[in-house]
Amino acid sequence: MERIWAPWRTVYIGKDHGSQCIFCDKLESANDEENHVLLRGDKTFVCLNIYPYNNGHLLIAPKRHVGDITDLDEEESLELFQMTQKMVALLRKAFNPEGFNVGVNLGKIAGAGVPGHFHIHVVPRWGGDTNFMPVIGDVRVISEGLNMTFEKLKEALED
């Protein structure tokens, strides 16, 4: 197979992604739904990863533009971990995953896609959620659109 069709991704292609940090752009905007910002805390916020590894892949970041874990203050560090706990519980409630990958990539060489703004990945996992596609086709198959995932998580937050 030479092509895999994913027309829902056209909204990202050619889009102006802003000249500054993607996290700071989301924070400056009041349109949380459009930006897939799920929750804002005092020091941190949560958004959906628009290029997810799996359905429900969340990013948790400090509101302050800081690139390294060692530059976080005590309040930011505490709220980041508390928000991570809360998002794991939320994902369990909304999607009932069998496990999670929770992690940080520090620095571009370590895989950080946004090395200038520290963030934590929370990726829900299910048995059988990986297959030959990432290995053979270098693509991921995501079974649900971002807007639907966002709505399910917002509903679970309100319950």
Which pLDDT does position 19 carry in this prediction?
54
Number of DSSP helices (H) and strands (E) in the chain, helices first: 4, 5
Residues with catalytic roles:
119
- What mean pLDDT is predicted for residues 8-15? 52
Tell me the C-alpha to C-alpha distance, in Å, between residue 119 and each of 5, 104, 123, 145, 155: 30, 7, 13, 22, 24
Average pLDDT, the chain: 85
What percentage of the chain reaches a pLDDT higher than 70? Answer: 79
Q: What pLDDT, in 10s, does the model give residues 73-82?
A: 999 999 999 9
Q: What is the DSSP string of 49-88?
A: -SS-SSTT-EEEEESS---SGGG--HHHHHHHHHHHHHHH
Q: Give the span between the Cα atoms of 152 and 142, in whole angstroms.
A: 15
Which pLDDT does position 40 carry in this prediction?
98
Residue 2, pLDDT > 70, answer: no
Tell me the C-alpha to C-alpha distance, in Å, between residue 58 and each of 55, 65, 71, 74, 88: 9, 18, 22, 22, 10
Residue 29, pLDDT > 80, answer: yes
Q: Which domains, from first to last, does the chain contain?
A: 17-158 (3.30.428.10)
Which pLDDT does position 138 carry in this prediction?
47
Supply the pTM of this predicted model. Answer: 0.82
Which pLDDT does position 63 carry in this prediction?
98
Residue 5, pLDDT > 80, answer: no
Q: Give the span between the Cα atoms of 104 and 69, in whole angstroms.
A: 9
Beta bridge partners of 58: 48, 122
